[in-house]
Amino acid sequence: DIQMTQSPSTLSASVGDRITITCRASQSISSWLAWYQQKPGKAPKLLIYKASSLESEVPSRFSGGGSGTEFTLTISSLQPDDFATYYCQQYNSYSWTFGQGTKVEIK
């Protein structure tokens, strides 16, 4: 099984900050990496697919990058609505795995 390691586990930031979350795969997954946002009591929401493709209606302050084993999610200017938990997710050979999550908190 491919393991996904997200860092940091928790991130404290202020409105307007630029933040980056990193996700590392235990082996190459090409560009099969997605990012999700989850708020308490809600289902996850797809933000980025295929490493860098922005999902429809997701604000352009969200961007994804990377390939192979190292990937990033960047929020260019953190907004109040962005305080949530973020998960990466990989795909390889009919198997999907999520990272452990990064909680973005208000500083």
Partner 1 sequence: EVQLVQSGAEVKKPGESLQISCKGSGFTFTTYWIAWVRQMPGKGLEWMGIIYPGDSDTRYSPSFQGQVTISADKSISSANLQWSSLKASDTAMYYCARQKSRDGYNLRAFDIWGQGTMVTVSS
Q: How far is the CB of 49 from partner 1 (least distance, A)?
A: 4
The Cα–Cα gap between 35 and 20 comes to: 12
Token look-up 């090409």 returns 30
Which residues contact partner 1 (rule: CB under 8 A)?
Answer: 1, 32, 34, 36, 38, 43-46, 49-50, 53, 55, 87, 89, 91, 94-101
Q: How far is the CB of 15 from partner 1 (least distance, A)?
A: 26
Residue 39 CA to its chain's centroid (Å):
13
Q: How far is the CB of 5 from partner 1 (least distance, A)?
A: 12
Token look-up 């990496």 returns 33
